[in-house]
Homo-oligomer: A and B are copies of this chain.
Amino acid sequence: MIKKVLIAEDHESANISVQKTLEDLGITDFQHAYYCDDALEMVKQTAKTDRSYDLMITDLHFEPDDRKVSITNGIDLITAVREVQPDLKILVFSADFTTSTIQMLYNKLDIEGYIRKARHDAQEIKQAIKDLGMHRRYLPRPIMDLINGKNGYEFSTFESAIVKLLAAGTMQKDIPTRLQELQIKPSGLSSVEKKLNQLKQVLNVATNEQLVAFCKDNGII
């Protein structure tokens, strides 16, 4: 069960909304830090005591300003915190959404969860904290799928060309011609259809529209 939470986040607005979300979940025992250094210090102060934190919610990007700091970003903060209190659960809350970053955090730094700053992030935070309370890790659905299925799925020129053409308004039946113009093989309509099906299955999306949305969200196209 998550009872005591530390929020490391330089944006005041994000800070407020996270606090509000915690309150909605009935969690009232939380502190926040605007600088990584402060967050680390707060963990250090409490780690070996009965006032230790159960969860740290942290941003990845911290805006540098006049104050001299030794830790400038969330990744370094997580690394440092892990040394001090290894059992502290960590939930990353960031606008960054590149698959490689998340996979690194998940595989190398063993974070317990990742929420993207996006449309319904507050709802996601709630779900994530519930999952964490049940000792389950939480990742955004598409990333979860990537890790569970083929991990580190990379888009080939063929695949990215198809999705780009779709996003540019090319009708599926016209894609073979365009691929030939681009000198990309294969170019047959069946191959395009097959690849689209494959992509949809791997990425767990239902339609071409959703595929395009996913690729846009993840900066693939």
Contacts and interface: CB of A to CB of B under 8 A. Distances in A.
Interface of A: 10-12, 63-67, 119, 166-171, 205-213, 216-217, 219, 221
Given A119-B219, A217-B216, A219-B119, A210 B63 contact: no
A12 B209 contact: no
A169 B65 contact: no
A47 to B, nearest CB: 28
A169 B210 contact: yes
Contacts of A169: 205-207, 209-210
Contacts of A219: 119
Which interface residue of A11, A168, A212, A216 has the most chain B CB atoms within 10 A? Answer: A212
Contact of A65 (B65, B205, B211): B65
**Can you list the 4 inter-chain pairs with the closest CB atoms, starting with the nearest?**
A169-B206, A169-B210, A65-B65, A167-B213
Contact of A166 (B12, B171, B209): B209
Nearest to A210: B169
A213 B216 contact: yes
Nearest to A66: B66
Given A119-B219, A217-B216, A219-B119, A210 B66 contact: no
